Chain A
Amino acid sequence: NAGVTQTPKFQVLKTGQSMTLQCAQDMNHNSMYWYRQDPGMGLRLIYYSASEGTTDKGEVPNGYNVSRLNKREFSLRLESAAPSQTSVYFCASSEKLAGGPETQYFGPGTRLLVL
């Protein structure tokens, strides 16, 4: 059981380049999320997907697109990278057990540097 996996672990881009961050979970969770983490700003939600086939904007969606390819996979695309998108990106999935709260499970993160 790998949990939540992310690729790549680290990436350097030039301004204007595009790339896709990949995320997969093997826990059969319905909900998946993309966050960015910047110093002193905690976690900010970029996009989320409540179920396969649905996606919604979070707090900071500008400059990003997402695809919920199937129940396991949720990708994040930067169409034209900007230096302001230099950050650590975390993917998460969540489950709600009967009678319990929704608990999130995080991947190890992708460190992105945009020059």
Chain B
Amino acid sequence: GNSVTQMEGPVTLSEEAFLTINCTYTATGYPSLFWYVQYPGEGLQLLLKATKADDKGSNKGFEATYRKETTSFHLEKGSVQVSDSAVYFCALSDNTNAGKSTFGDGTTLTVKP
């Protein structure tokens, strides 16, 4: 079956530091890949997505590149802010099964001023 593995957290960074959150996946076929973000007390919301190999998703300064050869979709940001403190979820959709997505366990990011 499909699975998503994220780097374990929590991650604590100082403001303006570089962020990487690793994500690798196992799936049949050609899945779409996503990063969702969950701010405290809220539901998840889409951060960025990519649909095929070598696609780069980007939003709010975050980027992730779909790497089929390493089955990875690592999230990066060059300079984090306190407002980026949240839980980040990597996910995939295999585009076949009623739109079901498989989520990683989430990585908690705390950015300190």
Contact = CB atoms under 8 A, between A and B. Distances in A.
Interface string B74-113: 0000000000000001010101001111011110000000
Interface stretch (B11-19, B20-28, B45-53): B45-53
Interface of B: 32, 34, 36, 41-46, 49, 51, 89, 91, 93, 95, 98-101, 103-106
Residue of B42, B51, B100 most packed against chain A (CB within 10 A): B100
A42 B100 contact: no
A100 B49 CA distance: 10
Interface of A: 4, 31, 33, 40-43, 45, 48, 50, 56, 58, 90, 92, 94, 96, 100-109
Nearest to B8: A40
A105 B45 CA distance: 7
Given A90-B44, A108-B42, A109-B43, A101 B100 contact: no
Q: Which label, helix, strand, loop or mixed, suits the secondary structure of the A interface?
A: strand
B59 to A, nearest CB: 12
A50 B99 CA distance: 8
B37 to A, nearest CB: 11
A41 B49 CA distance: 22
A32 B44 CA distance: 15
A50 B100 CA distance: 9
B32 to A, nearest CB: 3
Given A41-B105, A42-B89, A101 B43 contact: no
B99 A94 contact: yes
Contact of A42 (B41, B43, B49, B103): B103
Contacts of A100: 51
Nearest to A9: B41
Given A43-B44, A43-B106, A104-B101, 7 more contacts: A31-B99, A40-B105, A90-B44, A101-B32, A101-B34, A101-B51, A108-B43
